[in-house]
Amino acid sequence: MSKLDRYLVNDLFLSYWPKAKVEVLKRGNSDHCPIVLSCVSSDFGPTPFKFFNYWIGDSKLDDIVNGTVNLRGSGIRKDLMLAYCLKGVKAEIKKWRVAVNLAEKRELKEIIDKIKSIENNATKGLISDADKSLRVDLRVKANKIEMAKIKDLQQKARVKWLKHGDENNSFFHKAVSINLARNRINGLIFNGILFRIRAS
């Protein structure tokens, strides 16, 4: 339960990124608390819609698609009908995923709180066989939720899971970060003059 991890920076770093800050994230299912070094707080608008492959096969997704596609209008051109269908499906999927993510966050928080309570009792020598069994079941549930997040990271990183084999998602976090850095626009050139984009 010790705070072992730190970021070490020098004055030159702080001169470049004066608004840099460190945030300690929740421990989750690991025995370490992740720490995040944030150098800028840029708002680039709403997050674009992304469809994740592991959603396929979910009965709720099938219901959304079938329910939206069956809402046909009369006297509408086929191309417009397709556009309306796709727009409707996207909107309903967004609502569904927001609800699922909120439910998963609540469930994961409750599971972690229960696990912490059992582990605190264990440090005091107050743990029964039933508590041990419950802790194992809670860990399994937490792992299922974490695996869904890892699948998101797999697709964001655009790499194949089996190629690397390890179930440590730090690789995928790094790959996502590299993709974001590679796709970032640092400036625009007009008439041979470079205009750098400053973070707000």
- For residue 42, which phi and psi values (nearest 5 degrees)? -105, 140
Cα-based angle 177, 178, 180 (whole degrees, multiple of 5): 65
| Residue 4: both structure tokens together | 């072992």
Judged by DSSP in three states, 18 sits in coil
Nearest of 102, 83, 89, 85 to residue 49 by alpha carbon: 89
pLDDT of residue 196: 72
Is residue 119 within 8 Å of residue 111, measured between CB atoms?
no
pLDDT of residue 17: 76
**Distance separating alpha carbons of residues 25 and 197, to the nearest angstrom:** 29
Residue 1 CA from chain centroid, whole number: 25
Q: What is the pLDDT along the chain (200 residues), one digit of tens a residue?
A: 566 677 888 877 777 777 788 888 776 666 777 888 888 656 566 677 878 777 888 888 888 888 877 665 566 788 888 888 888 888 899 999 889 888 888 998 899 899 888 888 888 888 888 888 998 899 888 888 888 777 777 666 665 544 555 555 666 666 666 666 666 676 778 888 877 766 54
Residue 195 CA from chain centroid, whole number: 32
**Distance separating alpha carbons of residues 13 and 20, to the nearest angstrom:** 9
For 38-92, how does the pLDDT look when each residue is reduced to its tens digit (9 = 90+)? 886 565 666 778 787 778 888 888 888 888 776 655 667 888 888 888 888 888 9
**Distance separating alpha carbons of residues 3 and 163, to the nearest angstrom:** 34
**Distance separating alpha carbons of residues 26 and 129, to the nearest angstrom:** 27
Match 């299922």 to its residue by tokens: 144
pLDDT of residue 105: 86
